[in-house]
Chains A and B, each alone.
Chain A
Amino acid sequence: MTIITVSNQKGGVGKTTTAVTLAHGLAREGFSVLLVDLDSQGNVADSLGLDPGNDLYRLLFPGLAQPLAQVVTPSGRERLDVIRSDKHTAALKVALAAVDFREYVLYQALADTPHDVIVLDCAPSIDLLHTAALVAADYLIVPTRLDQLAVKGVRDVLQTLQAVRRAGRTQCELLAILPTFYDRVTSESHAQFEHLVNVFGARVWPPIPVDTQCRVAPRLGKTLWEYAPRTRALVGVEVGNGRRVGGYVQALERLVKLLR
C-alpha cells in the first residue's frame, strides 16, 4: 500500500482537482485506490457527483470510530473508493486535539486497507489532519499556482514536512511540485514557472495547463477522464515535433512507474 498526500496551505491551487484526477487515473490503470477527503468543504464528493457524507468523521471520531470497511464509499467508478468529508470534520478536529498520538490517527485508521494506493486530499490549512496526512504518507505532491506567492507557499509546505520529519514522525518524501493553471501565453506565467524551477529544480514536474474543463467537469460531477479525455489539462501542451509535455497524463505516467 502506498499513501500519497496532495497538499498546499494555499487555497485554490488545484489540490482537489489533482487528487481526484490522479486517483481516478490510477484506478483506470488497474490500481485499487482509496481517495480520502480531509477538507470539511467536502469538494471530493462534489467532484465525483456523490452525495455529501461524514465518512471521515465516522472513521476517526475518538470513542465512536467505525472500522474502515464500514465507512468506505464506492465512487461509482471501478476500483475507486472514497472517504468523504463534510462540516462534521470541523468537530472531528476539535475532538482529536485531546487525543494522545493524534498525529498517527489517520495512519492507524488506514493501515488495514485492502487498497493499493491511498490519495489524501488536504485542506488549505495547517491543522491536525494536515500533520496526520504528512505522518501517514509515503509521498507528497504539492500543486501550486504560478504567481508571486507560489514559491513562498511551496516553501511553507516543505517546512512543515521538514519539521515533521525532524521529529521522526514520518518518512514522507517530496515527490513533486506540480505547477497548475499554467498559461504559456503570458510572460508572467513563464517567468513564475522559471522562478519555481530555479528554486526547486528537478522536483518541479511538467505543469498542468490552465483549462476551463477543470471547472466544468466537477460541476457536472465527472472527472476529467470521463468528461474531456483529450483536454489540455490532461494531455499537456505541444512543444514541437509532435511532442506533448505536462498535463495529468504525464503526471500519471510517472506515478504509475513509481508504483510499479
Chain B
Amino acid sequence: MSGFVNFDDVDPAVSALLGKQRQREGEKRLSPRERRRKARERERAKRRLAGRVNWDLPPALKERLNAIAEEEGVPVSQLATVLLIEGLRRLRSGELQLRKYYSDSPRFRFVLEVPEVPE
C-alpha cells in the first residue's frame, strides 16, 4: 500500500482537530478541580479573543510597528491600540481628513491611497 500513495504527513486541518481532541481526552482524565481550572482558563482566553482582529497591513508598516514596540519595550498590540485611538481622536476632531486619501483612479472605487510608512 505504501508504494501506491504517499502517506507522509497529516492534513493540517485534521491535525488541528486531532490536537483539540487530544486536549479534550487529556482533560477527561483530570480531577474535577483541575477540570474547573482549565474551564476558567478557557473562559479567560475566550474573553481576550473578543478584541482579536485579522486585518491586512502593508508589510513595511507591520515591521515598523514591531521595531518600535521592541525599542520601547511594550507589546505591539498595545502600541497599535494607542496609535489607533490617537488616529481616531484626530479623525473625530477633523485634524485628520480621510477624503485626502480617497483614490481618484477611475479603476478603483471606495479605496484609500495608503501613504508611505514614515521612518
Binding site for B on A (CB under 8 A): 155, 158-159, 162, 165, 173-174, 184, 187, 190, 193-194, 197, 199-207, 237, 239-243, 245-246, 250
Contact = CB atoms under 8 A, between A and B. Distances in A.
A190 B16 contact: no
B47 to A, nearest CB: 13
Contacts of B4: 158, 162, 165, 174
B14 A205 contact: yes
Contacts of B8: 201-202
B8 to A, nearest CB: 6
A204 to B, nearest CB: 6
A102 to B, nearest CB: 25
A46 B9 CA distance: 39
A202 B13 contact: no
Interface stretch (B21-29, B56-64, B71-79, B90-98): B21-29
- Sorted nearest first, the 8 A-B pairs with minimum C-beta distance are A201-B7, A206-B13, A202-B9, A190-B21, A239-B20, A245-B13, A245-B17, A239-B16
Given A241-B49, A243-B16, A246-B13, A190 B25 contact: yes
A202 to B, nearest CB: 5
A205 B15 CA distance: 10
A125 B55 CA distance: 50
B10 interface: yes
Given A197-B18, A237-B17, A245-B16, A203 B25 contact: no
A54 to B, nearest CB: 36
Contacts of B20: 239-240
Interface of B: 1, 4-11, 13-14, 16-18, 20-22, 24-25, 28, 49, 52
Contacts of A202: 6-11
A174 B5 contact: yes
Contacts of B24: 184, 190
Given A194-B18, A200-B7, A202-B8, A250 B13 contact: yes
Contacts of A241: 49, 52
Contact of B5 (A159, A203, A206): A203
A158 B1 contact: yes
B113 to A, nearest CB: 32
Contacts of A242: 49
Contacts of A174: 4-5
A165 B5 CA distance: 12
Contacts of B6: 201-202
Nearest to A241: B49
Given A190-B25, A206-B11, A241-B49, A246 B17 contact: yes
Contacts of A158: 1, 4-5
A195 B45 CA distance: 31
Contacts of A206: 11, 13-14, 17
A204 B13 contact: no
A240 B9 CA distance: 22
B25 A187 contact: yes
B14 A204 contact: yes
A204 B11 CA distance: 7
A249 B9 CA distance: 23
